[in-house]
Amino acid sequence: MSTLTKVLIVLLTVFSIFLCGIVVTYVANAENYRATADSQRSQIQTMRNARDAAVASEEQAKQQAAQLKAELDQQINDLKVAMTEIQGRLDAVKRDNTLKEQQVANQTAAVKLANQAATEQTRLFENVQQEIESLRAEQTKRTKELNETTQTLLEKMAVIAQLEQKTRQLTEAKQEVETRLNQMLQQYGRVAARPQTVTPTRAAAQPAPQRAAKKIDLDGKVTGVDPKNRLAEISIGAAAGVRQDMKFHVTRGEQFVCDILIFEVYPDKAVGILDLIQIEPRVGDAVTTNL
């Protein structure tokens, strides 16, 4: 065997061993792409299944959502209808409310007018009441005057009856005296002269002379005193001639006490405000319009 052959054999061996070593190393360390591909494939399949399941669940969820949306739309429509109906009722109620408010306003105005009328009637009634009171006082006064006048008339009539009787007696006595006188004078040829009356003849009517205004001259007594409010009550009223704004002077014996300015008059009494108080008045003090 030649040297070259030997060298070639050695080189062949070395390189073979080297090459085989490389190949074995490479094959041993090579990645199992099939297993990787299979696992990837199985993963892909799993994911595809999951994707399909997700798509299916998405479809189902979409269907449920669509169904829910349809139900909600139906509810919305129903609610809109209900709302429209309620809105209509609300409008009707508002109209009724407006009408009722107008009626209330009208009734309020009517009540106000009625109140005004009642107030006016009350005022008129009070005025009439005051007139009635004054008329009653006037009536009382007139009745009292009538009674006094009647009494005076009866007295005068009694006096007149007495005087007539006396006149008749005097006339009879006069006639008897004249008869006797004539009888006596006839003896001497005379007759009695006609007596002259002492009753004065009436002159022609003349206007009455102007008289100066006379004093009121009302007298009474203090029947009540309110020093806290400076009020006092007297025993005479409209029947005696007391009028509002009259001034009475209160005296106690010869001493001046105070003045009373009348502001309220009743038929048989009057109330006034105390003025010019010198001494505290008390019940029983005399009141008069003229000192």
Partner 1 sequence: MSPMPQARGGKISPANNLYTAILAVALGVVIASAAFVAFKCYTQYATIFGTP
Q: Which stretch binds partner 1 (CB under 8 A): 12-20, 48-56, 90-98, 279-287?
A: 12-20
Is 6 an interacting residue with respect to partner 1 (CB under 8 A)? yes
- d(CA 257, CA 275) in angstroms, rounded, equals 10
- Of 49, 70, 47, residue with least CA distance to 62: 70
Report the residue number, 4 or 291, with the smaller CB distance to partner 1.
4
Q: Does 161 bind partner 1 (CB under 8 A)?
A: no
- Does 13 help bind partner 1 (rule: CB under 8 A)? yes
Q: How far is CA 114 from its chain centroid?
A: 13
Of the listed pieces 28-36, 41-49, 211-219, 274-282, which binds partner 1 according to CB under 8 A? Answer: 28-36
In sequence order, the β-bridge partners of residue 221 are: 286
Cα–Cα distance, 129 to 136 (Å, whole number): 10
- Based on CB atoms, which residue is closest to partner 1, 40 or 290? 40
Q: 270, 287, 284, 279: which is closest to 227 by C-alpha?
A: 279
The secondary element (H helix, E strand) that includes residue 183 is: helix 33-188
Q: Does 213 bind partner 1 (CB under 8 A)?
A: no
Rank residues 10 and 72 by Cβ distance to partner 1 and give the closer one. Answer: 10
Q: Applying CB under 8 A, which part among 8-16, 41-49, 121-129, 172-180 lies near partner 1?
A: 8-16
CB of 18 to partner 1, least distance (A): 10
The residue range among 15-23, 103-111, 146-154, 226-234 that interacts with partner 1, by the rule CB under 8 A, is 15-23
Smallest distance, Å, CB 39 to partner 1?
A: 13
In degrees rounded to 5, what are phi and psi of residue 271? -125, 140
29 binds partner 1 (CB under 8 A): no
CB environment 230-269: b (16+ within 10 A), e (fewer) = ebbbbbbbbbbebeeebebbbbbeeeebbbbebeebbbeb
* Binding region for partner 1 (CB under 8 A): 1-2, 5-6, 9-10, 12-13, 16-17, 20, 23-24, 27-28, 30, 32, 34-35
